[in-house]
A = this chain, B = another copy of it.
Amino acid sequence: MAQARRTFVILGHTAAITPHFTLNDLPASAGRLDILCRCVTAAFCLSHGIRTAVQVYLVLRDQVAVRLEGSRLKRLNPDERSTAALIKRALEALPNVRPGEQCESTPGVFVSLGGLQTVLDKLQAEGIALYLLHEHGKDLRSVEIKEPVAFVLSDHQDFHSSEEALMAGCPRLSLGPVVLHADHCIAIVHNELDRRASQMLQ
């Protein structure tokens, strides 16, 4: 695989880690999985196509990681329900996954055991710079960012203190004066980096 230029790590503090939820009630039965689905859409979906140089880690309850790899993704549609169905398939495959291994449950969707620490270790081993998206951070527009880069976001809950401790060395970036949903943050980050990439090409 080619290394993804942009990685988004989203912490799902209450998300389901078993497939025993209904697609008809993602907010309640799947523990706000709707938020994570919208993040996947914001990370990958363009008006007419997929961002292939992106990967997403969904970290579920600090126990399970679902990684989506843009260069291999198929069958990703922008609606929440169909994305949740892909995650459900990943969780169905989880019982057969051994520690330290991963399983590709559908094309471009990988599931593994392990929480935030495991994901951070992997990204750092790959030499990817890590940033924390946080309301108390430096303005994204004022910070030079080199790809490959990873951004860590939280769902509807604030970062837990244990998570902040793990990422104590990561610079914090803020996107503006208003605290936004995670998927909207991803759209704004992409837009800023798209603009910079476009200016570099000119």
Q: Which residue of B lies closest to A51 (CB)?
A: B178
How far is A100 from B26 in the complex, measured between Cα atoms in Å? 38
Q: How large is the interface on A (under 10, 10 to 19, 20 to 34, 35 or more residues)?
A: 35 or more
Determine the chain B residues whose CB is within 8 A of the CB of A81 once the complex forms. 24-26, 80-81
Indicate if A179 sits at the interface (CB-CB under 8 A): yes
Within residues 1 to 49 of chain A, which ones have a CB less than 8 A from any CB in chain B?
23-27, 34-35, 38, 41-42, 45-48
Complex CA gap A191/B42 in Å reads 15
Of the listed stretches A66-74, A105-113, A180-188, name the one at the interface; the rest are far from the partner chain.
Answer: A180-188
Whether, in the assembled complex, A94 has its beta carbon less than 8 Å from a beta carbon of chain B, the answer is: no
List the B side residues contacting A27 at CB < 8 Å.
77, 79, 82
Docked Cα-Cα span, A79 to B181, in Å, equals: 12
* B24, B177, B190: the one within 8 Å of A195 (CB): B177
Q: Are B184 and A42 in contact (CB under 8 A)?
A: yes
Chain copies in the assembly? 2
Q: Which residues of B contact A181 (CB under 8 A)?
A: 41, 45-47, 78
Q: Whole-angstrom distance between the alpha carbons of A183 and B78 in the complex?
A: 11
Contact B179 A47 (CB under 8 A): yes
- The reply on A148 being an interface residue by CB < 8 A is no
Whether B175 contacts A191 by the Cβ 8 Å rule is: yes
A79 to B81, CA, bound (A): 10
| B176 & A194 in contact (Cβ 8 Å cutoff) | yes
A161 touches B (CB below 8 Å): no
* A156 at interface, CB cutoff 8 A: yes
Q: Are B34 and A80 in contact (CB under 8 A)?
A: yes
Residues on A lying within 8 angstroms of B by beta carbon are: 23-27, 34-35, 38, 41-42, 45-48, 77-82, 156, 175-181, 183-184, 187-188, 190-191, 194-195, 197-198
5 contacts between A and B (CB under 8 A): A38-B38, A38-B78, A45-B181, A79-B80, A80-B81
